[in-house]
């Protein structure tokens, strides 16, 4: 099965139920990744595209019209917005400034939780409870990952997984 998290709208099956993210021409495409991570963590597919000349709130409304799940996310260079198709006559459900990966990831989670009918986590609480941090300019702080240690841990987990099921690991 193809992975449908964070792919361009033009690359998905026409009837695939997914959240739609529209970004302005001034929004870096790299930000799509973080919104997609928020949706993916909740198990909801997301597809995206670029649309010139609109701000986050308008982009979210346009996205909700396209989404088979009737949830849209809009992102411009300063703000993100999430809304529902049923709320097009009102301001978006969420409009929030963003400074880095954590806020963008939260917007993706908000969209996915609206799809699933689950409560929305407070933005401040979400950011405090997640490892992604950002500098005042919105650049992610560098994190060191010991790849050898990660590989050893993964191999141990796989070995234990198969051992408990009577298979060879």
Buried/exposed 94-115: b ≥16 CB within 10 Å, e otherwise? bbbebebbbbbbbbbbbbbbbb
Q: 45, 52, 46: which is closest to 24 by C-alpha?
A: 52
For the chain, domain boundaries = 5-144
Quick: pLDDT tens for 87-137.
Answer: 999 999 999 988 889 999 999 999 999 999 999 998 888 888 875 444 333
pTM recorded for the entire structure: 0.73
Indicate the CATH number for domain 5-144.
Answer: 3.40.50.10150
């Amino acid at each position: 099965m193809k992975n449908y998290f964070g792919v361009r709208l033009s690359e998905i099956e026409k009837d695939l139920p997914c959240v739609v993210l529209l970004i302005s021409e001034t929004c870096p495409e790299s930000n799509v990744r973080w919104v997609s991570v928020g949706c993916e963590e909740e198990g909801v597919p997301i597809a995206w595209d670029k649309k010139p000349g609109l701000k986050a709130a308008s982009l979210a409304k346009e996205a909700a019209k396209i989404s088979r799940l009737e949830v849209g996310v809009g992102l411009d260079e300063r703000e993100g917005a999430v809304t529902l198709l049923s709320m097009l006559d009102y301001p978006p459900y969420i409009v929030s400034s963003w400074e880095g990966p954590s806020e963008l990831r939260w917007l993706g989670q908000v969209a996915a939780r609206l799809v699933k009918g689950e409560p929305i986590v407070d933005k401040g609480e979400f950011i405090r409870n997640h490892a992604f941090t950002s500098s005042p300019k919105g650049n992610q702080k560098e994190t060191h990952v010991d790849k050898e240690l990660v590989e050893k841990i993964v191999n141990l987990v796989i070995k234990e997984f198969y051992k408990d099921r009577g298979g060879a690991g």
